Amino acid sequence: MSQTTNTSTANGKVIVCGEHSVVYGRDALAAALPCGVEARAVRADTSTLSIDGRRLKPDEPAVTALACIAQTLKTPPCAVDVTLRMPVGVGLGASAAMAVAVTRAVATLYERGCDQETLLRAAHLWESEFHGTPSGVDAACAALGGCLLYNRHRGPVATTVGRPLYLAIAVAGPASSTKAMVARVAAIRERDHRQFELALDHLQTIVQSAQRAVASGAHAELGALVDENHRLLVNWQLSTPAIEQACSVARTAGAYGAKLTGAGGGGCVLAVGDAHTQPLIARAWEQLELQTLSVCIDATSSNDPPQG
C-alpha cells in the first residue's frame, strides 16, 4: 500500500504454509495482502487511539501498545485514528498491520527516522500486548509487503513468485484468539516433545518445497503441499467443522489445495487456485454466505523486501 503525507498504511498478510511452526524457529511462507490498515496521527496532550471512529478506553491493550510505540520512538503523546480496510481477528494480520501503520504515522508526525528495524521492534511490542510470543511473521509482511520466507532468527527474505499465484480466502469461522491457539499448540508440545519435533521437521520440509513451488510456478504441487500442511494443523486440533467445510467446498470447486491460515480455531481458509478456478471457489463460498477475498500474488506485489 502507498503512503501519503497524512495517512500511513500497512498491509495484512496471508500465511501460505508454516503458521505455528514459525513460533518454534522454523520457516513460514507468507504474502502481504493488497488490503490493510490506515493510520493518522495528530499532536495531543494525552495519547488516544480511535479505531473506525470508536475511541478506545485508556486501559485497552491497543492503547498500552500505542504507549510502547511512543516509548520506542521517544515521541510526545498524540491522538491516532485508525481505519481498518481488512477483516480483523481472523488470521490475516490486522493487528500487526495496525502496529506498523500506527508506528509510521507517529514517526511521520514527529519526524522521527523510522528504519525497518525500529518499525519491526515497535510492531513486536504492540503484538506482544495481544499474543505473548509473536514470531514476527505478521509484522514483517505488514512492514515489507511482497512474498516472504520468514524465520524468527534469520528474519524475512523476499521470495520469487514465478507465475501469478491466485489465492482465494474465506472467513470461515468467527474470530479466534491467537494467544489461545498458540497456547493450545504449546500444550501439545508438552505432552510429547519428540512427536512435536517430528511434526516441526515435516512442516519445515513442506515450507521449503512450497517456496520452490511458488518460485517455479508449480501451483498444483503447491496445492498438494497446502493440503499436507493442513493435515498437520488438524492433528494439532486447530481446525473446526466450519474450516473443514470451507476447505472441502474449495477443493470441489477446483482448488489445487486448501488449508486454514493463521492461528486457526476459527478465522480464515486459504485455497490455491488459478485464474479460472479462483472465481469458482469464491462463488462456492459465497453460496455458504462466507466473506471472501480474492488475491493475486505476483512479482509486482513486492514492496522492496530484502533480497536473499
User: Is residue 263 at the binding interface for ligand MEV, with CB under 6 A as the rule?
Assistant: yes
Binding of residue 178 to ligand MEV (CB under 6 A): yes
Position among 12, 87, 89, 134 found at the interface with ligand MEV (CB under 6 A): 134
DSSP 156-191: EEE---SS-EEEEEEE-S----HHHHHHHHHHHHHH
Region from 17-25, 47-55, 68-76, 140-148 binding ligand MEV, contact rule CB under 6 A: 17-25
Report if residue 129 touches ligand MEV, rule: CB under 6 A.
Answer: no
C-alpha cell at 219: 501451483
Smaller CB separation from ligand MEV, 22 or 78 = 22
- Determine the interface stretch with ligand MEV among 48-56, 60-68, 79-87, 131-139 (rule: CB under 6 A): 131-139
CB of 95 to ligand MEV, least distance (A): 9
Nearest distance, CB of residue 127 and ligand MEV, angstroms: 7
Using CB under 6 A as the binding rule, whether residue 33 contacts ligand MEV is answered as no
Cα distance between residue 103 and residue 67, in whole Å: 11
Question: How many whole angstroms separate alpha carbon 135 and alpha carbon 28?
Answer: 10
Which residue minimizes CB distance to ligand MEV?
135
Question: Quick check: 138 binds ligand MEV (CB under 6 A)?
Answer: yes
Could you say whether residue 27 binds ligand MEV (CB under 6 A)? no
Nearer to ligand MEV by C-beta: 20 or 189? 20
* 267 near ligand MEV, judged by CB under 6 A: no
Nearest CA to 233 out of 265, 208, 207 is that of 265
- The answer to whether 20 contacts ligand MEV (rule: CB under 6 A) is yes
CA of residue 110 relative to chain centroid, distance:
28
Q: Among the candidate windows 40-48, 72-80, 132-140, 229-237, which touches ligand MEV by CB under 6 A?
A: 132-140
Q: How many CB atoms lie within 10 A of CB 6?
A: 12
Q: Does 17 bind ligand MEV (CB under 6 A)?
A: no
Q: Is 32 in the site for ligand MEV (CB under 6 A)?
A: no
Q: Using CB under 6 A, pick the residue from 135, 176, 229, 302 that binds ligand MEV.
A: 135
- Segment interacting with ligand MEV (CB under 6 A) among 14-22, 103-111, 226-234, 290-298: 14-22
Inter-CA distances, 230 with 44, 212, 249, Å: 47, 18, 15
Q: Can you tell me which of 10, 16, 23, 167 binds ligand MEV, judged by CB under 6 A?
A: 23
Distance of CA 211 to the CA centre of its chain: 17
Distances (CA, A) of 165 to 79, 104, 113, 222, 223: 39, 29, 35, 10, 11
Cβ distance to ligand MEV smaller for residue 143 or 253: 143
Q: Judged by CB under 6 A, does residue 87 bind ligand MEV? A: no
Which residue in 61, 63, 68, 134 sits closest to 96, CA to CA?
134
The size of the interface with ligand MEV (CB under 6 A), counted in residues, is: 15
At residue 255, what are phi and psi to the nearest 5 degrees?
A: -65, 145
3-state secondary structure of 287: helix
Grid cell 481472523 is found at: 90
Amino acid of residue 49: L
Sign of CA dihedral 112, 115, 121, 126: positive
Q: Which residues bind ligand MEV (CB under 6 A)?
A: 15, 19-20, 22-23, 91, 93, 134-135, 137-138, 178, 182, 262-263
